[in-house]
C-alpha cells in the first residue's frame, strides 16, 4: 500500500461552484417550502366559505345565547361535534303548512323577508335531501381529533374555534397545525376550565375566580387575587391535577 | 448443503426448502428485501413509470398543499340513537358460503364495516373457553369467527356483483328492469297455478333458511306437480344421513368441549369446515394444560388445521381410513368385552415402521376411547364414504357418546325427503322434456356442479330459466333466461337456524347497494305467494317457530339478540341405533407409492369455497393454512410421493382417473400421506369479476386464478378418487407461497437458539406436569441494554399473549386484521416478491425428528406448531433506533407507534426488525390499484367509491412509500381510553378493549390488555409458567409473549424425544453455572438454562446420555 493520500484532481475544483449553487438552491427550496407550509393560506386561517344557509352564529349563539350543544349535540359524546340535522333547524323554523299556518313555531315564517335565507332549510325538509354545508375546520385524514375527549375535560370550544358567537359567517380563526396542537398538549393549563363552562365562550378565569366564595377558593387552593393569564394558569393547573388530565404528545395520540 | 441440524435431533422448519437449504430459500434469506423488490409490477415499463411519476409530481406541486372544499351532508332527520361517527353493532344471522353465521355487524354511519361472531348465540355461549375464573367472562366474551366470515364484508362492496336485471334474449348489455320482471313473475305465477306446477321446477341450494323452506312447502302444497331439486355444491356431510339410516333421523352436532378424547378420521372440523369457528371454540375448552386436558387424535391424508392442532397425528391415505376405523372398532369391541389393552412404550414410537405405528395408534386410540366412554368423540371427514360414517355413528353409540358429545336433535318439520330431487333428477327431467321452467336459487350450478352432470346443456333445453345470481357468472352466461340480482345476505331479510336449531333472524345492515332483492322476495313473487315483503315473511316464520305471533317488543328483542331464546330443537337422548356390518379390518400394506395407484382427495377451497368467493381479494390473497399458497390451488403431495413419481415443486403434474385428465401445479407438503394427492376445487373460474380473472400481474392478460378441477369432480365418483395415475410433465408453473417469507437465516437462528431456545416451543403434557416452565427458559447471561430503559410503571402498559396451545392457525385473525386496519391486497406477482402486506403472519413450523440424512429430504410424520407473529411492540424497539426521521417512536404506554405521514420510506426499520413484521407499501396499493381490488383495471370512480366503503375510517389509509405494521389496534385503544375518561375513570378496565385479532380468534388464544394491572388477564398470561418471549436474548423486551404448546400425547405414541425431552441440558461452554432447580420465575431475571443448540434444533440427550452438540453442521 502506498501512503499517498487520494487527492481529487484539480479539474474537480470547478464543481465547487456547482456544489455551492446546489447548496444555495437547496436552502432556497427548503426555505420556500417552509414558508409555503406555514403560510396562513396553506393553514387555511381565515377560510370563510359561503354556506348554503346564511346561518348566523352571532345571532344564535351570541345574541340568543343558545348553548352550542343545542345543535352540535354529539360534541361531548363522540369524535365529531356533528352538524345538526335539518330537523334541528325546523324545531324553530318550520315551514308553513299548506293552509298557511305555521306547523311549529315559525320564527321566520314563509312570508317574512328573511324567508329566502331559510329556503335551503325548508327545501331540505321537504325534499329529504341534505343541506350541503361546506366544511370549514379540517384536519388531514391521518389526524384523529376527538371532540368529546377535549370538551369533557374542560377544553372550551373557544380554544380552537375562537369566538364563534361573534361570527356572522364562521371562518377558521386558529392555525389547527400540528405545532399548535402539540403546544397545547404540552402546556394545557391555560386552556382548561371547569367542564360545565366549556360552551360559555366569553368565560374568563379571572371573573370566574372572583365569583367564588373564599371557601371555594381555598378548596381550589387559590387566593382569588390572580389576574388574567395567571388566573387561568392557576385554575388550569388545579383542574389538571384534580382530574388527572395528562395530555400526551406522542404520535399515536392523533395518528392511527 | 447446510442442514439446519444434525441427525438425531428434532428440527423445526417452515418448508422443505428451508430444511434442505435450497437456493430458493437462500435467496429469500440473503436479501433483506427479496430480489426484484425494487421492481415495478409486470406490465409497467420504466418509461411509463417515469411519465406517471412526472405527472404526479407536477400535480402534487399544484394540489398538495391545499385543501379541496369538502361538503358535509347532514341528516334531515337523524335516526334515533345514531351519533355520527360512532359505530353501532347489530346482531344478524346469515347463510354465507355454505355456513350459517351468527354475527355482530359493526355498522358505522350506516355502512357495515366489520363482522364478528355473536358470543351470545347459545351454542357459542355454552362453549366459552374460560379458565381464568374471574368475573370478566362477559367483558371478554367474543365468539370468534373464521376467515371466510371475516371476508364477507368485502364481498358486500364488490362492484362486480350483479346490479341489474337481465331479461332473456336481450343482447349482452341490454337490461331489463324490476318492473318488467315483476310483470313476468306475476304472469308466471298465474301460469304456475293453472298448470298446478306441471313443468315447473325450483333448483335450490340448502341455505338453512326456515322461511325459504316454508315458501317451498307452500309452493309444493299449492302446486302439487312442481318439482323441487336440492343441490349442494359442496356435498353435505354424510354423518347425519348415517344416523338417519341407523334409525335416528336427527340434526347432528358435536360437543368437542365435552369430549376428553377426540378422534378425527380425515375430518377437518377446526379448519376447512362450515362450523370451524364453533368447533375450534369448543376444542379450546379442553386445551388448558393440566390433568384434565383433552387428548386429540387425528388420522388424515392431507395436512389440515385439525391435524396441526392434534396431539397425535397419523398420516394415512383417505382410502385406508375405513380399514383403520374397522380395526379401531374391532379393538373397542374387544376391550368392551373385557380384554385388556396393551399399549407398549418400547421401542419408542419413532423407531417403528409405518405399519407398526398405525397398529400402535389403533391400540392407543381404542384404549383411550374405552377408558373415556361417554366423554369421547369420533368424527369422520366429509369425503369419507357412507360406510365409514355408519361405522362412526355405531362406534359413538357403543361408546355411549350419543346425547353427550354427539348431540342429536329432532329435525324441524319441513319438506319430506321424497319430495326433493337431486341435480341429476333435474337434468334427467330437462332431458326428458318434463321440465320446462326452472327457478334457480343455487349459486352457479354450471361451474360448481360435478362435470358428469351436464347442467349447462340441460338449462339450454328449458323454455324459461330464472336465475337469481350474486354476480354474472358461468351459469348466468349460459342460462339464457332471466338473470336477476340477488342482494348480499347483509342487505337482505332472512333467517337461519344454528347447529342446535336455534332460530336467528337476518336483518339487513344496509339497503341493497346494487339494487338486488333477497331470495325470499324473489321466490315469493315467482311462486305467487300472497306475502312478498321479505320482512313479513320472516316475521311469519318467527311466529311459527316461537309458537305465537311476536309482538313488536318481542320482535325487536329477537332482532337485538340475534336469536330466539329457547328455540333449540328438541334433543334426542341416546337413541338405539340399528346394527351395521363391521368394516373390514385393514391390513397395513407396505409403504409403496405406485404411479397408477394413487388417491386424490377433493375438497372445496378453504378460502374461496366452491368458487363463489373467487372475486374476494382478501380470501384470494390469504395464505392458505398449510401450504401458505395464495391466488392458487395445487396438487399437494408428500415428499416421498414426489420423489417416487418424479414430481417437482411448481411443475405441473398430469393426473388422470378413469379417462378424466387434469393438470395441476405440484406443491410438496411434508406430512401428507404417501400416495395421496390433495386438491382443493373452486378455482379456475372463467366468468367472474376482475379479481377472479387476474391479480397475477399489472396489465397482464386476464386468466383464471388457479386451476379448474372440474374434470376430476364427478358425482359418480365422489370426492375420494382411487386408482389415480399421476405423471410429471416438467411444465413449470409459478406458485406464490409465503411460507419462506420473513424467515431467519441459519446462522442467526443458531446463535439465538443457543441463547434463548427456539422460536416455537412445545412439550408434552407429561413434561409440563413435571415442569410447567419447560418452555420458559430465559437467556441467563447478563442482559445489558444499549438504550435508556423506558419507564413503564405509570399508566397503561399494553401487552399481548398468544397461547400456542390454543392457536390452530385458522387465519381468522389475519383477515380480521386486514378488515380492521385497511390492509391492502397486492396480487400474486407482488406476493412472489415478498411484498404481502398482512400485518399478522401465521408461521407454521413442522417439527420432525431427524434420524438420518434422508430425513432432511423426506421428514417423517412431522408434527406442526402454528405461531401468529405480528409486531410485538418491543420496549426497546430496534426499529426505532434506526429511523432517521423518528417516524416510528414509542408511546408512554409501550406502543411502538407509526407516524405514517412522517415516514420517508428508507425501510431501515424493516431491516432492523428481528421479527420481520414490518410491511412496506411499494405502491399505492389502495388507491392506484383500487381498494383490495382489480389492480389491472383502473376502476371507474363510482366503483372505487363503492369499494372504499369497506374501509375503516378510524385507521389511516396508507400510501406508497410508507412503512406499516401492527399497531395493537391503536384506534381501539384510543377510543377505549376516551370512553373511559368520559365515564370518569382514568384507566381502561380489563376487558373493555379487545384487538381485532383477539375478537376474531375462535379459541381465545389471543389475550390483550394492560400489563400494569396485575389482575388483568394478560398479566396472568405473562406470568404463566409456559410464557416465553420470542428472541428474548436480544433484550428488546417484546410486549407480545407466547405460551408454549403442550401436547397430550399418550406415552405409547411418544417419539423418543418426547419420551426423553431432556430440556435442561447445560453446557458449560460459557457463562456462569445455573442449576435447573432454581428455575422458578418467569421474569427476566429468572435463571435460564443454556441449551446447546444449533439452528432450529432441540438438542437432545441420547439414551446413553451424550448430548449432541454442534455449532454448525455441514452435511
pLDDT digits (tens, 9 = 90+) for B306-333: 999 999 999 999 999 999 999 999 999 9
Residues of A in contact with B75 (CB under 8 A): 85-87, 130
What percentage of chain B carries pLDDT values higher than 70? 85
Residues of B in contact with A85 (CB under 8 A): 74-78
With beta carbons less than 8 A apart as the criterion, state whether B910 and B883 touch: no
- What chain B residue is nearest to A35 in terms of C-alpha separation? B65
CB–CB of A251 and B902 under 8 A?
yes
Q: Is the pLDDT of residue B491 over 90?
A: yes
- Range with lowest mean pLDDT among B12-21, B908-917, B1047-1056: B12-21
Cα B675 off chain centre by: 26
**Residue B821 pLDDT:** 94
The cell numbers describing B901, all together, are 405521514
For residue A124, the distance in angstroms to the closest alpha carbon of chain B comes to: 7
Exposed, middle or buried, B1078 (CB in 10 Å: 0-12/13-18/19+)? exposed
How much is the average pLDDT of B220-236?
91
Residues of B in contact with A130 (CB under 8 A): 73-76
Nearest alpha-carbon partner for B361 in B318, B316, B422, B301: B316
pLDDT tens sequence across B200-216:
999 999 988 999 999 99
Mutate: best of B952, B978, B985, B995, partner A, most A CBs <10 A:
B978
Exposed, middle or buried, B1023 (CB in 10 Å: 0-12/13-18/19+)? middle
With beta carbons less than 8 A apart as the criterion, state whether A73 and B78 touch: no
Residue B990 contacts by C-beta under 8 Å, 6 or more apart in sequence? B136, B139, B1009, B1010, B1013, B1015, B1016, B1017, B1018
CB–CB of B981 and A152 under 8 A?
yes
Residues of B in contact with A42 (CB under 8 A): 65-66
**Residue B1083 pLDDT:** 38
**Residue B469 pLDDT:** 92
CB–CB of B897 and A141 under 8 A?
no
Residues of B in contact with A131 (CB under 8 A): 73-74
pLDDT tens sequence across B716-733:
888 999 999 999 998 999
What does the H/E/C string look like for B305-365?
A: HHHHHCCEEEECCHHHHHHHHHHHHHHHHHHHCCCCCCCCCCCCHHHCCHHHHHHHHHHHH
Cα B247 off chain centre by: 35
Q: What is the pTM of this model?
A: 0.89
DSSP string, B2-65: B-SS-SSEEEEESSHHHHHT-HHHHHHHHSSS-TTTTSPPTT--HHHHHHHHHHHHHHHHHHTT
The cell numbers describing B530, all together, are 300472497
The cell numbers describing B109, all together, are 354511519
How much is the average pLDDT of B589-595?
64
**Residue B69 pLDDT:** 84
**Residue B755 pLDDT:** 64
Residues of A in contact with B890 (CB under 8 A): 250
Residues of A within an 8 Å Cβ radius of B: 36-37, 42, 44, 49, 74, 76-80, 82-87, 124-125, 128-135, 138, 140-142, 144, 146, 148-149, 152-153, 244, 248, 250-253, 255-256
Average pLDDT, chain B: 84
The 10 Å Cβ neighbour count of residue B203 is 25
Q: Is the pLDDT of residue B55 over 70?
A: no
Q: In whole angstroms, how far apart are CA B439 and each of B63, B137, B435, B482, B846?
A: 54, 47, 11, 9, 49
**Residue B1069 pLDDT:** 38
Residues of B in contact with A153 (CB under 8 A): 981
Average pLDDT, chain A: 86
Q: Sorting pLDDT into bands at 50, 70 and 90, what band is A159?
A: very high
- Range with lowest mean pLDDT among B279-283, B498-502, B857-861, B867-871: B857-861
Residue A253 contacts by C-beta under 8 Å, 6 or more apart in sequence? A185, A247, B891, B974
pLDDT tens sequence across B67-126:
678 899 999 999 888 898 899 999 999 999 989 999 999 999 889 999 999 999 999 998
pLDDT tens sequence across B645-678:
999 988 999 999 999 999 999 999 999 999 999 9
**Residue B983 pLDDT:** 86
**Residue B1058 pLDDT:** 85
Look at the alpha carbons of B878, B881, B883, B886 in this order and tell me if their dihedral is positive or negative: positive
CB–CB of A133 and B954 under 8 A?
no
How much is the average pLDDT of B787-804?
86
**Residue B1104 pLDDT:** 33
Residues of B in contact with A253 (CB under 8 A): 891, 974
CB–CB of A135 and B974 under 8 A?
no
Mutate: best of B60, B63, B65, B76, partner A, most A CBs <10 A:
B76
Q: Sorting pLDDT into bands at 50, 70 and 90, what band is B780?
A: low
Look at the alpha carbons of B820, B824, B829, B832 in this order and tell me if their dihedral is positive or negative: negative
Q: Is the pLDDT of residue B223 over 80?
A: yes
Residues of A in contact with B67 (CB under 8 A): 44, 138
**Residue B241 pLDDT:** 86
**Residue A211 pLDDT:** 84
pLDDT tens sequence across B155-184:
999 888 998 898 886 554 455 688 889 999
How much is the average pLDDT of B1053-1066?
73
Q: Sorting pLDDT into bands at 50, 70 and 90, what band is B1062?
A: low
DSSP string, B918-941: -EE-SS-TTTTS-TTS-SSSPPPH
How much is the average pLDDT of B482-511?
93
Residues of B in contact with A80 (CB under 8 A): 84-85
- Order of all β-strands in the sheet with B406-409: B251-254, B406-409, B571-572
- What chain A residue is nearest to B70 in terms of C-alpha separation? A135
**Residue A109 pLDDT:** 56
How many Cβ pairs closer than 8 A exist between chain A and B? 125
What percentage of chain B carries pLDDT values higher than 90? 54
Nearest alpha-carbon partner for B669 in B862, B383, B866, B867: B862
CB–CB of B956 and A131 under 8 A?
no
Mutate: best of A42, A252, A253, partner B, most B CBs <10 A:
A252
CB–CB of A130 and B76 under 8 A?
yes
Exposed, middle or buried, B88 (CB in 10 Å: 0-12/13-18/19+)? middle
How much is the average pLDDT of B776-800?
76
R_g (Cα) of chain B, nearest Å: 29
Residues of B in contact with A132 (CB under 8 A): 71-73
CB–CB of A76 and B982 under 8 A?
yes
The cell numbers describing B643, all together, are 420423489
Q: Sorting pLDDT into bands at 50, 70 and 90, what band is B556?
A: very high
The cell numbers describing B146, all together, are 373464521
Residues of B in contact with A250 (CB under 8 A): 889-892, 897
**Residue B1068 pLDDT:** 36
pLDDT tens sequence across A140-153:
889 999 999 999 99
Q: Is the pLDDT of residue B545 over 60?
A: yes
Residues of B within an 8 Å Cβ radius of A: 65-67, 69-78, 83-86, 889-892, 895, 897-902, 954-957, 967, 970-971, 973-975, 978, 981-982, 986
With beta carbons less than 8 A apart as the criterion, state whether B147 and B810 touch: yes
How much is the average pLDDT of B37-50?
48
- What chain A residue is nearest to B983 in terms of C-alpha separation? A152
Mutate: best of B62, B65, B74, B81, partner A, most A CBs <10 A:
B74
Q: Are strands B629-630 and B736-737 parallel, antiparallel or unpaired?
A: antiparallel
Nearest alpha-carbon partner for B649 in B629, B665, B633: B665
3-state secondary structure of B890: strand
CB–CB of A129 and B70 under 8 A?
no
CB–CB of A42 and B86 under 8 A?
no
CB–CB of B67 and A44 under 8 A?
yes
Q: Is the pLDDT of residue A212 over 90?
A: no
- What chain A residue is nearest to B822 in terms of C-alpha separation? A256
- What chain A residue is nearest to B79 in terms of C-alpha separation? A85
Nearest alpha-carbon partner for B1057 in B1108, B1113, B1115: B1108
The cell numbers describing B451, all together, are 362435470
Residue A103 contacts by C-beta under 8 Å, 6 or more apart in sequence? A94, A95, A96, A97
**Residue B1093 pLDDT:** 32
Q: Is the pLDDT of residue B866 over 70?
A: yes
- Range with lowest mean pLDDT among A106-110, B271-275, B361-365, B945-949: A106-110
**Partner residue facing A141 (CB), from B65, B69, B956:** B956
Q: Sorting pLDDT into bands at 50, 70 and 90, what band is B782?
A: low
Q: Is the pLDDT of residue B1115 over 50?
A: no
Q: Is the pLDDT of residue B261 over 60?
A: yes
**Residue A104 pLDDT:** 58
Nearest alpha-carbon partner for B872 in B1014, B968, B742: B968
DSSP letter at B374 equals T
Cα B1061 off chain centre by: 32
Residue A32 contacts by C-beta under 8 Å, 6 or more apart in sequence? none
Q: Is the pLDDT of residue B842 over 60?
A: yes
With beta carbons less than 8 A apart as the criterion, state whether B895 and B967 touch: yes
CB–CB of B971 and A125 under 8 A?
no
CB–CB of B76 and A149 under 8 A?
no
**Residue B29 pLDDT:** 65
Mutate: best of B890, B982, B996, partner A, most A CBs <10 A:
B982
CB–CB of A250 and B889 under 8 A?
yes
Alpha-helical (H) ranges within B135-200 are 137-140, 147-156, 178-194
Q: Are strands B963-964 and B503-506 parallel, antiparallel or unpaired?
A: unpaired
pLDDT tens sequence across B1065-1114:
433 333 333 433 333 333 333 333 333 333 333 333 333 333 333 333 33
Nearest alpha-carbon partner for B1044 in B783, B741, B745, B778: B778
CB–CB of A84 and B891 under 8 A?
no
Amino acid at each position: 500500500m502506498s501512503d499517498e493520500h487520494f487527492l481529487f484532481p484539480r479539474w474537480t475544483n470547478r464543481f465547487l461552484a456547482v456544489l455551492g449553487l446546489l447548496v444555495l438552491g437547496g436552502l432556497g427550496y427548503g426555505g420556500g417550502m417552509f414558508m409555503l407550509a406555514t403560510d396562513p393560506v396553506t393553514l387555511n386561517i381565515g377560510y370563510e366559505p359561503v354556506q348554503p344557509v346564511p346561518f348566523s352564529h352571532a345571532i344564535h349563539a351570541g345574541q340568543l345565547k343558545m348553548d352550542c350543544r343545542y345543535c352540535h349535540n354529539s360534541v361531548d359524546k363522540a369524535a365529531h361535534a356533528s352538524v345538526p340535522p335539518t330537523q334541528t333547524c325546523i324545531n324553530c323554523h318550520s315551514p308553513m303548512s299548506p293552509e298557511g299556518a305555521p306547523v311549529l313555531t315559525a320564527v321566520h315564517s314563509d312570508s317574512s323577508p328573511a324567508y329566502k335565507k331559510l329556503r335551503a332549510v325548508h327545501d331540505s325538509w321537504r325534499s329529504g335531501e341534505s343541506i350541503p354545508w361546506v366544511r370549514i375546520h379540517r384536519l388531514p385524514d391521518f389526524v384523529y381529533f376527538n371532540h368529546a375527549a377535549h370538551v369533557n375535560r374542560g377544553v372550551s370550544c373557544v380554544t380552537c374555534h375562537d369566538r364563534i358567537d361573534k361570527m356572522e359567517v364562521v371562518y377558521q380563526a386558529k392555525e389547527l397545525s400540528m405545532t399548535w396542537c402539540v403546544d397545547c398538549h404540552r402546556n394545557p393549563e391555560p386552556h382548561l376550565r371547569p367542564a360545565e363552562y366549556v360552551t360559555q365562550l366569553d368565560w374568563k378565569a379571572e371573573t370566574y375566580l372572583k365569583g367564588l366564595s373564599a371557601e371555594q377558593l381555598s378548596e381550589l387552593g387559590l387566593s382569588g387575587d390572580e389576574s388574567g393569564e395567571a388566573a387561568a394558569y392557576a385554575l388550569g393547573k388545579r383542574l389538571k391535577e384534580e382530574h388527572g388530565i395528562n395530555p400526551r404528545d406522542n404520535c399515536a395520540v392523533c395518528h392511527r | 448443503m447446510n442442514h439446519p441440524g444434525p441427525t438425531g435431533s428434532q428440527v423445526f422448519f417452515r418448508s422443505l426448502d428451508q430444511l434442505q437449504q435450497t437456493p430458493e430459500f437462500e435467496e429469500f434469506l440473503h436479501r433483506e428485501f427479496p430480489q426484484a423488490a425494487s421492481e415495478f409490477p409486470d406490465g409497467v415499463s420504466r418509461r411509463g413509470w417515469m411519465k406517471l411519476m412526472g405527472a404526479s409530481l407536477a400535480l402534487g406541486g399544484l394540489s398538495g398543499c391545499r385543501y379541496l372544499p369538502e361538503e358535509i351532508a347532514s341528516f334531515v332527520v337523524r335516526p334515533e340513537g345514531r351519533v355520527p361517527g360512532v359505530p353501532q353493532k347489530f346482531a344478524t344471522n346469515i347463510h354465507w358460503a355454505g355456513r350459517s353465521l351468527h354475527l355482530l355487524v359493526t355498522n358505522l354511519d350506516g355502512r357495515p364495516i366489520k363482522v364478528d361472531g355473536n358470543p351470545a348465540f347459545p351454542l357459542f355461549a355454552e362453549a366459552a373457553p374460560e379458565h381464568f375464573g374471574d368475573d370478566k367472562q362477559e367483558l371478554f366474551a367474543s365468539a370468534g369467527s373464521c376467515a371466510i366470515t371475516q371476508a364477507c364484508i368485502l364481498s358486500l362492496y364488490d362492484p362486480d356483483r350483479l346490479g341489474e336485471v337481465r331479461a332473456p334474449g336481450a343482447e349482452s348489455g341490454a337490461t331489463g328492469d324490476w318492473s318488467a320482471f315483476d310483470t313476468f313473475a306475476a304472469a308466471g305465477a298465474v301460469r304456475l297455478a293453472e298448470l298446478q306446477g306441471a313443468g315447473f321446477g325450483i333448483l335450490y341450494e340448502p341455505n338453512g333458511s326456515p322461511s325459504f323452506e316454508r315458501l317451498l312447502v307452500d309452493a309444493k302444497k299449492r302446486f302439487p306437480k312442481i318439482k323441487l331439486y336440492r343441490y349442494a355444491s359442496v356435498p353435505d356431510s354424510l354423518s347425519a344421513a348415517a344416523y338417519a339410516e341407523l334409525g335416528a333421523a336427527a340434526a347432528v352436532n358435536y360437543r368437542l368441549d365435552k369430549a376428553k378424547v377426540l378422534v378425527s378420521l380425515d375430518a377437518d372440523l377446526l379448519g376447512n369446515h362450515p362450523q370451524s369457528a364453533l368447533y375450534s371454540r369448543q376444542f379450546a375448552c379442553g386445551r388448558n394444560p393440566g390433568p384434565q386436558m383433552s387428548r386429540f387424535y387425528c388420522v388424515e391424508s392431507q395436512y389440515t388445521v385439525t391435524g396441526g392442532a392434534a396431539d397425535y397425528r397419523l398420516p394415512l391415505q383417505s382410502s385406508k381410513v375405513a380399514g383403520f376405523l374397522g380395526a379401531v372398532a374391532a379393538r373397542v369391541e374387544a376391550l368392551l368385552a373385557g380384554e385388556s389393552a396393551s399399549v407398549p412404550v418400547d421401542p419408542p414410537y419413532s423407531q417403528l415402521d409405518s405399519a407398526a405405528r398405525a397398529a400402535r395408534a389403533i391400540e392407543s386410540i381404542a384404549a383411550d376411547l374405552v377408558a373415556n366412554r361417554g366423554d369421547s368423540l369420533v368424527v369422520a371427514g366429509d369425503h369419507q364414504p357412507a360406510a365409514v360414517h355408519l361405522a362412526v355413528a355405531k362406534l359413538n353409540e357403543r361408546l355411549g357418546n350419543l346425547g353427550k358429545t354427539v348431540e342429536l336433535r329432532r329435525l324441524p318439520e319441513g319438506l319430506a325427503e321424497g319430495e326433493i330431487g337431486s341435480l341429476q333428477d333435474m337434468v334427467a327431467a330437462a332431458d326428458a322434456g318434463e321440465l320446462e321452467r326452472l327457478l334457480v336459487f343455487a349459486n352457479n350450478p354450471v361451474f360448481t356442479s360435478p362435470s358428469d352432470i351436464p347442467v349447462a346443456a340441460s338449462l339450454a333445453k328449458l323454455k324459461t330459466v330464472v336465475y337469481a345470481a350474486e354476480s354474472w357468472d358461468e351459469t348466468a352466461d349460459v342460462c339464457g333466461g332471466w338473470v336477476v340480482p340477488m342482494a348480499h345476505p347483509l342487505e337482505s331479510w332472512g333467517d337461519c337456524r344454528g347447529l342446535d336449531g336455534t332460530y336467528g333472524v337476518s336483518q339487513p345492515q344496509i339497503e341493497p347497494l346494487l339494487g338486488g332483492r333477497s331470495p325470499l322476495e324473489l321466490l315469493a313473487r315467482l311462486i305467487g305467494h300472497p306475502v312478498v315483503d321479505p320482512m313479513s315473511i320472516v316475521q311469519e316464520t318467527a311466529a311459527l317457530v316461537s309458537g305465537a305471533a311476536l309482538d313488536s317488543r318481542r320482535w325487536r328483542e329477537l332482532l337485538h339478540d340475534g336469536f330466539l331464546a329457547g328455540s333449540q330443537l328438541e334433543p334426542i337422548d341416546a337413541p338405539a341405533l340399528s346394527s351395521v356390518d363391521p368394516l373390514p379390518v385393514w391390513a397395513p400394506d407396505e409403504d409403496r407409492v405406485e404411479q397408477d395407484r394413487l388417491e386424490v382427495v377433493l375438497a372445496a377451497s378453504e378460502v374461496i369455497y366452491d368458487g363463489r368467493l373467487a372475486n374476494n381479494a382478501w380470501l384470494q390473497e390469504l395464505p392458505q393454512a398449510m401450504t401458505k399458497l395464495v391466488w392458487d390451488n395445487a396438487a399437494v403431495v408428500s415428499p416421498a410421493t414426489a420423489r417416487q413419481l418424479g414430481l417437482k415443486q411448481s411443475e405441473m403434474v398430469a393426473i388422470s382417473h378413469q379417462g378424466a385428465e387434469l393438470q395441476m401445479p405440484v406443491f410438496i407438503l411434508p406430512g401428507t400421506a404417501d400416495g395421496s394427492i390433495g386438491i382443493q376445487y373452486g378455482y379456475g373460474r372463467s366468468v367472474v369479476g376482475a379479481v377472479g380473472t387476474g391479480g397475477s400481474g399489472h396489465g397482464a392478460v386476464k386468466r383464471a386464478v388457479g386451476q379448474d378441477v372440474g374434470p376430476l369432480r364427478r358425482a359418480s365418483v365422489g370426492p375420494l378418487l382411487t386408482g389415480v395415475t399421476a405423471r410429471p410433465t416438467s411444465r413449470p408453473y409459478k406458485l406464490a407461497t409465503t411460507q419462506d417469507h420473513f424467515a431467519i437465516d441459519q446462522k442467526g437462528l443458531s446463535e439465538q437458539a443457543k441463547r434463548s431456545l427456539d422460536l416455537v416451543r412445545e412439550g408434552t403434557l407429561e413434561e409440563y406436569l413435571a415442569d410447567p416452565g419447560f418452555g420458559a427458559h430465559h437467556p441467563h447471561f447478563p442482559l445489558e441494554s444499549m438504550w435508556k430503559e423506558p419507564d413503564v410503571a405509570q399508566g397503561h402498559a399494553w401487552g399481548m399473549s398468544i397461547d400456542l396451545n390454543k392457536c390452530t392457525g385458522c387465519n381468522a385473525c389475519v383477515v380480521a386484521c386486514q378488515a380492521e386496519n385497511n390492509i391492502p391486497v397486492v396480487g400474486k406477482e407482488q406476493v412472489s416478491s415478498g411484498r404481502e402486506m398482512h400485518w399478522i403472519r401465521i408461521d407454521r413450523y413442522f417439527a420432525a425428528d431427524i434420524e438420518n440424512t434422508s430425513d432432511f429430504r423426506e421428514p417423517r410424520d412431522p408434527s406442526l406448531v402454528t405461531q401468529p407473529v405480528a409486531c410485538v411492540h418491543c420496549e426497546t424497539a430496534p426499529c426505532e433506533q434506526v429511523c432517521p426521521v423518528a417516524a416510528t417512536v414509542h408511546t408512554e404506554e409501550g406502543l411502538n407507534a407509526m407516524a405514517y405521514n412522517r415516514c420517508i420510506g428508507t425501510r431501515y426499520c424493516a431491516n432492523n426488525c428481528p421479527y420481520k413484521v414490518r410491511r412496506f407499501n411499494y405502491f399505492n396499493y389502495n388507491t392506484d390499484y383500487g381498494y383490495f381490488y382489480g389492480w389491472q383495471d383502473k376502476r371507474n370512480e363510482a366503483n372505487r367509491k363503492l369499494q372504499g366503503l369497506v374501509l375503516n375510517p378510524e385507521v389511516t389509509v396508507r400510501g406508497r412509500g410508507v412503512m406499516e405494521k401492527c399497531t395493537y389496534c391503536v384506534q381501539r385503544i384510543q377510543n377505549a381510553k376516551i370512553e373511559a375518561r368520559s365515564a370518569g375513570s382514568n384507566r381502561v378496565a380489563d376487558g373493555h378493549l379487545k384487538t381485532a385479532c383477539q375478537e376474531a380468534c375462535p379459541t381465545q388464544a389471543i389475550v390483550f390488555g394492560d400489563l400494569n394491572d396485575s389482575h388483568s388477564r394478560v398479566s396472568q398470561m405473562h406470568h404463566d409458567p409456559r410464557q416465553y418471549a420470542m428472541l428474548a436474548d436480544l433484550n428488546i423486551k417484546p410486549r407480545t409473549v407466547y405460551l408454549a404448546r403442550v401436547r397430550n400425547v399418550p406415552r405409547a405414541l411418544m417419539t423418543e424425544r418426547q419420551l426423553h425431552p431432556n430440556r435442561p441440558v447445560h453446557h458449560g461452554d460459557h457463562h456462569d453455572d445455573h442449576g435447573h432447580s432454581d428455575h422458578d420465575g418467569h421474569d427476566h431475571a429468572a435463571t435460564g438454562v443454556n441449551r446447546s443448540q444449533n439452528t432450529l434444533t432441540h438438542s437432545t440427550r441420547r439414551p446413553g446420555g451424550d448430548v449432541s452438540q454442534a455449532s454448525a453442521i455441514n452435511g
